[in-house]
Amino acid sequence: MSWLRGVTSAVLSSTARGVFSQRPKLPVRMLSNVRHPPAMLDRTKNQDRVWTQAIWDTIDRTAGTAQKQNLPTPDELWAERSRSATFNPPADPYTGRRVFVNGDLGEAFRRLQTRLRRNRVMQEVSRQRRHEKKGVKRRRLSSERWRRMFANEVRKKVQLVSTIRRRGAY
């Protein structure tokens, strides 16, 4: 640090105290020469606490759970998350294909069918029965993309018309 060659320790300590600084003194978290910490250091903690409490109150009011609840301690959170983390078995090739049956077989089949429909497994199976040429695949993907965009636009227009009707325009 060649720029510190001519600077004595007295100058350095006085600049650390802010004697030569022309800037306005702003609240600083760590002051080296202060024997008693200023109230500004505690104010940020209080402000954080106030903001946290305000946020939790707002969440409780909007969620409809205005009753006061005891927040769990970090140890309780850790224990709960450890239990939930050890609940699931390690992933294997059948992880996404497995549906747990909790007494109701029909409900399990509905969940399995929903998952298969969401992942479009039947379309994938029918597509893999035969080889699809590159141009045919490109055309099919383009058509699917266009259909999705068109359906989205129609959905938005229907929503717009329903909001206009709800306002009483027609």
Counting runs of H as helices and runs of E as strands, what totals does the chain give? Answer: 6, 0
Residue 17, CB-side half-sphere exposure with 13 Å CA sphere: 9
Burial of 99 (0-12, 13-18, 19+ CB in 10 A): middle
Q: Identify the pLDDT of residue 50.
A: 77
Residue with tokens 């306005």: 24
CA 48 to chain centre: 21
Q: pLDDT digits over 48-77, tens only?
A: 777 788 788 777 777 665 555 678 888 888
SS3 133: coil
Q: Identify the pLDDT of residue 100.
A: 84
SS3 66: coil
SS3 9: helix
On whether the CB atoms of residues 18 and 31 are closer than 8 A, the answer is no
Q: Identify the pLDDT of residue 35.
A: 53
Low-confidence ranges of the chain (pLDDT < 70): 1-47, 63-69, 86-87, 170
Q: Identify the pLDDT of residue 151.
A: 98
Residue with tokens 């106030």: 50
Q: Which amino acid is at 42?
A: D
DSSP string, 70-125: PPPPHHHHHHHHHHHHHHSPPP-TTTTT----SS-HHHHHHHHHHHHHHTTHHHHH
Q: Identify the pLDDT of residue 25.
A: 53
Q: Identify the pLDDT of residue 21.
A: 45
Q: Domain-by-domain residue ranges, the chain?
A: 97-130, 133-170
